[in-house]
Structure 1
Amino acid sequence: MHCSISKSGILTLLLCLIFHTLESSITVEAQRINADSLFIAARQAANSGDRTGAIVTCERILTNNPGYQDAHILLSRIYLWDKKYDLAESNINTVIETNPKSFDAWDVKTDLSLWQGNYASCLRDCDAALTYFHDNKALLLKKARAYDGLKKPEMANETLNTLLYIDPQNADGLKLLKSLQDQLKKNRLSFSYSSDYFQSRALEPWKTIYLQYSRKIPIGTLVGRFNYAKRFGIEGVQGEADAYLKISNWNYGYLNIGYSNQSIFPRFRLGGEFYQKLPSAFEASVGFRYLDYKTTDAMIYTAYLGKYSGNWWWSGRTYFKLNGSTSLTALLQTRYYFASRDDYWGVRVNYGVSPDERTNVLTTVTPSLKSSGFRLEYSKQLWPAFTISGAFTYSNTEWMSKRYRNVFSGEIICSYQF
């Protein structure tokens, strides 16, 4: 028994196979075209601020096309904007595992580690990406920023030199280089002069001058300061020393000690504070200030909370005294930074007096007297090594029970780095 297939049967079978193949190809191509159209819509939604709509569209694409890399990358970028870092990492790792030569994927991956402050991870990611994209300017800039975040200015400077050799006019690179050059200078000499003018003409202005030298060391910064003041016709001097010491990458300490044998200064002052870096660019601290005069003393406790947001710095600080008469001081302050840490303007409002203000040392031991006011400040780096700062302060101070006077203060500070 045998069977035979006619020529017409063979032709029919071939035509069926051809039509099936064409149908499958057309279906795949239609799905690809549809996915491309949806992706364009998702990208437009993300750029216009409709992140939720963009996420929904990307997920729709990935339901039928799980390997559509652009959708994974866009999802990662949106999750990064929304600070949903785990979701961003999951999506971007999916792309890098299958296509390690995708620059867009590495661009998101390096931003992910940099934005979270994971500078060591960012360095590893940048080095991995640079094996595929040699001398890429965006990756070199992120690598320099990661070194800067790790407090390695020499390595950051070396990376920036490579970037600026490729692109000498790179604005972001030049801005970071200027900041690094300031960090690489270990010494700073500062001179300050301030004068307080009282509403009552019977009281002559108070004068305060200090000369300060600071030196960066591997574990922090050491500061020496010589203070001079003239108040109530009495002159006096005081010596002080500060230390800002790194404990770990997440915390550091502050110490202060001072001595004077003149009555207008505390005979002895001592301070200490512990600072802790927190997630989302927050920082907090707790500490104390001790002031010892010949006839009285004061133990003052302090707490601080600050946050950096873009070019802005916001902070709140409180001082409170528990022994003897209880008192509370509160300060709110903000600064907007420009090209460097020495270029900024700021505003501060306060209720009460601060023991960290050198002109207030006479009033911090009698904190039951009330005070309120504000301070305006501006600082400008005129040359790479020279900075000038100015401040105006107004306060309404209770100098006797229920008797107040206005005080207007001006201060100028000149600093030289070398």
Structure 2
Amino acid sequence: MMSSLKYILSGALLCFSMQMQAQVFKKSKDADQLYDEAVKETKQQHYEKAIALSREALALRPDFTDQELLLGRLYMLTGQPSLARKYVKEVLTKDPRYRDAYLYAINIELGAKQYYEAECFADEGLYYFPGDKDLLLKKLGVLDEGTKFYQADNLAQTLLDKYASDSTVRRTATGHYLLAGQYYRNRRNYLMAQQQFEKALLLDPDNEEARIAINNLYITTGSYTRAIEQVNADLTANPGSYDLMMRKLGLLQETHNYTEALAWLQQILKRYPNDAKARAMDTQLRMEAASWYANADPYLLYQSVLEKEPGNREALDKVIGLSMSRGAYREALAWINKGLKSNPNDSRLLGLKMDVLESDRKFTEAAAIAEVLRRGNSSSPDLRSRYAALKIASGRDYLAQQQYDLAIPEFEKALQADPKDSTAMDMIANSYINQKERGKAIEVLDRALTVYPNNRRFLLKKASILTEMGQHDEAAAIMEQLLNQYPADGKYAASLAEIRMNAGRILMQAEEYTLAAGQFRAVLEQEPSNPDALNYLINLHAATEQPDSALYYADKALQYYPDNKDILLKKAGVLTDMKRYEEANAINYQLMQRYPFTLKYRTAYTDGLLAAGTAYQRNNATDSALTTFRQVLTINRKDSMALLYSINLLNAKQQYDSALIYANQGIKYYPDNVTFLQKRAVILENQKQYEAAATAADSVVRLSNTPANNDYADYLRSKTLKDQFGMFFLHSSYDYNSTTYNIATLEYRHFIKRGSYAARLNYAGRQQGTGLQGEVELYYNHTSKLYSYALATYSNELVFPKMRLAYSLFKTFKHDIEGELGVRYLNADSSHSVSGVVSVAKTWEEFWVNFRAYFISDSPEFYTSYNLTARYHMNRHQDYIQFNAGLGTSPDDRSRLIQFPKLAGLLTRSVGAGYQKTFRYRTTVGLFGTWINQKISNSVFQNQYDIYITLQRKF
């Protein structure tokens, strides 16, 4: 039992220790990660968990404004307004230009019914973001909640003027008018309520709430006629609506128009035959009608008089008047037409018919009667104005139906009757604007402005059209005129600034930068602190490579917005363009310190350091450049450009070990990046670690199989090959001898770290036997600029000289000049000659030229020989074309050494050319030809022709 308990306790302790170890060594999350998690939890409505994560993030970074705002929102969502208010206010204290914080603050105060505080936050937000649609909509809501409907009306109109086509604005404004209408209706201010409901219907003609409200209002105020007109209008749009049909029946019943009510009920029953309510109304209406008419209806009495005396004018007037008062316009029109049959020019009846038609919204027909009446009394100003009003109403109807070809003539006729009618002018202009005929609209507005030169509506409309036409200067002139007339009205200043800003934007898109800058400067003359104009001027001058001007406007902007991070970032960018890297990097460093988790500031700082480093690099300040690039890598150890620049600089300084560390670091972070692998291969090549370099080059080929990469890989792989096999063949022919002579050579060469050594066997067949010659050769590099060449040969003397010895010391000087000092010894046919050798070689990019002189002592004679060789190298110096010319016979001339004692004193000239080609740095083939002309005597010359073929293969 005790043993079991012991095991259980041990296991529990082990689990507890493992859990504690996991907690201790668990990698802590930073504030940004916590913020991201809090956002995810908020979206999933896990508010308590999101609050805990947010508080943890703020504990790590107290000045994290985004996190504070999220926490404020979470407290709003969980019904904790006090805490929400605390965090949102802290955000606004730290960053007064945090737009979303104002929206949250307004919502908090609205929820707490603190309307004054909410309005203050809205005004404060609009101070920093003037004209912001969302803030304006929030303020409208605050004013509505606080029942400040007069101010709200003005704000709603401002929103509609600025965002006329925005569905959200129109919907919000409609809601405002409905709310205001209900407010005034509840306080029995029916006139104001009616105006508000009419505005709502103007914005949303299909709004059911507005229709019902205004209909009820008509009934409350006893305006049954207007109520019936409204229902009839609604029925025109929706003729089968049961509710509308029953509403009209109720109104007819209220006005005791039982005849029409019963007829209308029959239509309802026809459409809804099984409706119990409608069927019950049939009996009820007939009972009410019988009771009403039993008490004597004046209408019926006057109608009975007319039946007996059709010409009784008083009875006719009464019947017409009663029909109109009951809203029975069709009946009234029928009685008027009956009267006009007997007296067609009766002005009284014509006037009544005009009224009826107008009430029935038949404005065109009413205007035609008004025209008839006006002709009969042309001096009447009332008839003239009535005619004009009816023509305008008729035109509006056509305009509403987008029948512009019918609307415009109506407005023009109204103007003919009253040339100063501003409404007609306005309607004509609107017609042309709706048709996008801006030129004609301008003509109409100009005509209107000759009559009303200071009319604000016409001026604003003209300015708007000119802006749309791209005539911004003219539009701005109009706004300046309005601003001068009404300096206290801020909307004109704002409109003028907006016109100029739009003009500047359009000019920038058209790449008219000078003109665009003029527009933005004009905005600053009016509003020196306008942030958009300042921003555009900074961007514009920076883009057009005018950094001094860009810096001027950046400094000017910082006078108004000293802590604006975007402007500071732009100023740093301008300073970078001006190569004032220290100042630019100081700003970027401050921004990075203030916002350590914002990537763009870190990027800007590192980019600035890179620019400074490359500037040091161009000025050969290598150590300063490397220090700067190390700063970049301290901030971002994965910065590819800093790694590459550092590799190149260290390579140039021959600090290969350090360069290799950076190359390996680059490969670690970017394993598929060809450049870092190439750099590694080059560094290893410079260190003469050819095996490792070739492996790196093979990796490059696997990632990017291009001819250049394959070529470099082959080159490096060839450097790892230490042995070479060669075959050579020399063919000589003569014009003075029919015999040809050939020399075949086999060679083995081994490459060592400081050069190479080789052994050769030369074979030549002659009539007297087979000539064999053995050779050993050495190239040895003492230093990078000093190397030796040595050669020793021995033969059986049948063809070749018995012995040759050679040694030269080569040294490289400045400007790619190479000098040689050497000695040669030759033993042939019992002749012993010793020669001194001097040569000078020079390289010009792909060209190499060598001039060599031999000073030959063959006792008792002394000779000289000269040789000039020129080569043109191709394909990374693998291949070359060669040209050579010689004077005299040199001890290095293999084809004539056996005859050297005979030829040494002769005047010999030679020219030759050849081509050598290397395949993949392993196999080399060559073909060379030489023509030698020897002067035997003053009149005798002989010629020799050599063909030399080579083949070498590394392995």
Q: Under TM normalisation by the shorter chain, which class is it?
A: 0.7 to 0.9
State the Cα distance separating 1:175 from its structure 2 match.
1.2
> What does 1:112-127 align with in structure 2 at a 5 Å threshold?
112=649, 114=651, 118=654, 121-127=655-661
Which residue pairs with 2:862 in the alignment? Answer: 325
Q: Detail structure 1 runs of 4+ shifted over 6 Å in the superposition.
A: 24-27, 231-234
Q: Within the alignment, does 1:337 sit opposite 2:874 as a pair?
A: yes
State the Cα distance separating 1:407 from its structure 2 match.
3.0
Q: Within the alignment, does 1:159 sit opposite 2:692 as a pair?
A: no
Alignment TM-score, normalising by the size of structure 1: 0.72
Which residue pairs with 1:267 in the alignment? Answer: 802
Q: Is the 8 A contact 2:758 2:777 kept in 1?
A: yes
- Counterpart of 1:145 in structure 2: which amino acid? V
Q: Higher relative CO (CA 8 A, sep ≥ 6), structure 1 or 2?
A: 1
SS in 2 for 1:185: coil
Q: Within the alignment, does 1:93 sit opposite 2:626 as a pair?
A: yes
Q: Is the 8 A contact 1:270 1:290 kept in 2?
A: yes
State the Cα distance separating 1:213 from its structure 2 match.
1.7
> What does 1:192-207 align with in structure 2 at a 5 Å threshold?
192-198=728-734, 200-207=735-742
- Counterpart of 2:716 in structure 1: which amino acid? L
SS in 2 for 1:169: coil
> What does 1:4-403 align with in structure 2 at a 5 Å threshold?
20=559, 22=561, 31-35=571-575, 37=577, 61=580, 68-75=608-615, 78=618, 87-90=620-623, 92-100=625-633, 101=637, 102-112=639-649, 114=651, 118=654, 121-132=655-666, 134=668, 135=671, 136-165=673-702, 167-198=703-734, 200-229=735-764, 236-262=771-797, 264-278=799-813, 283-306=818-841, 312=846, 314-321=848-855, 323=857, 324-338=861-875, 341=878, 343-362=879-898, 366-381=903-918, 386-400=923-937, 403=940
State the Cα distance separating 1:33 from its structure 2 match.
4.6
Q: Distance in 2 between matches of 1:31 and 1:242?
A: 68
Gap change, CA 1:283 and 1:356, over 3 Å in 2: same
Which residue pairs with 2:68 in the alignment? Answer: none
State the Cα distance separating 1:242 from its structure 2 match.
0.8
Gap change, CA 1:115 and 1:299, over 3 Å in 2: farther
Deviations 1:236-268 (A, max 9, x none): 322111122343454432221111232642221
State the Cα distance separating 1:405 from its structure 2 match.
3.3
SS in 1 for 2:774: strand
Q: Is the 8 A contact 2:674 2:704 kept in 1?
A: no
Number of residue-to-residue matches in the alignment = 367
Which residue pairs with 2:227 in the alignment? Answer: none
State the Cα distance separating 1:212 from its structure 2 match.
1.5
Q: Is the 8 A contact 2:663 2:680 kept in 1?
A: no
Which residue pairs with 2:316 in the alignment? Answer: none
Q: Is the 8 A contact 2:610 2:629 kept in 1?
A: no
Deviations 1:376-399 (A, max 9, x none): 222334588644321122333334
State the Cα distance separating 1:371 from its structure 2 match.
3.2
Q: Distance in 2 between matches of 1:77 and 1:21?
A: 38
Which residue pairs with 2:602 in the alignment? Answer: none
Deviations 1:176-206 (A, max 9, x none): 22123333333322222221233x2545333
Q: Distance in 1 between matches of 2:732 and 2:866?
A: 20
Gap change, CA 1:154 and 1:276, over 3 Å in 2: farther
- Counterpart of 1:378 in structure 2: which amino acid? Y
Q: Distance in 2 between matches of 1:385 and 1:129?
A: 29
Which residue pairs with 2:229 in the alignment? Answer: none
* Unmatched runs of 5 consecutive residues or more in structure 1: 1-14, 39-57, 80-86
Which residue pairs with 1:84 in the alignment? Answer: none
* Unmatched runs of 5 consecutive residues or more in structure 2: 1-528, 530-556, 587-607
Gap change, CA 1:181 and 1:70, over 3 Å in 2: closer
CA RMSD of aligned residues (A): 3.7
Q: Is the 8 A contact 1:203 1:232 kept in 2?
A: no
Q: Please tell me whether Structure 1 or Structure 2 has the larger radius of gyration of its CA atoms.
A: 2
Alignment TM-score, normalising by the size of structure 2: 0.34
Q: Distance in 1 between matches of 2:651 and 2:938?
A: 54
Gap change, CA 1:293 and 1:373, over 3 Å in 2: closer
Identity %: 17
Match of 2:944 among 399, 407, 413: 407
Q: Distance in 2 between matches of 1:233 and 1:78?
A: 70
Q: Is the 8 A contact 2:733 2:740 kept in 1?
A: yes
Which residue pairs with 2:121 in the alignment? Answer: none
After alignment, is 266-275 or 121-130 more displaced? 121-130
- Counterpart of 1:255 in structure 2: which amino acid? A
Gap change, CA 1:62 and 1:218, over 3 Å in 2: closer
SS in 1 for 2:917: strand
Q: Is the 8 A contact 1:304 1:315 kept in 2?
A: no
Higher helix proportion? 2
Q: Distance in 1 between matches of 2:889 and 2:643?
A: 51
Q: Distance in 1 between matches of 2:877 and 2:558?
A: 68
Gap change, CA 1:345 and 1:263, over 3 Å in 2: same
Gap change, CA 1:382 and 1:267, over 3 Å in 2: same
Q: Is the 8 A contact 1:353 1:363 kept in 2?
A: no
Q: Distance in 2 between matches of 1:329 and 1:290?
A: 17
SS in 2 for 1:297: strand
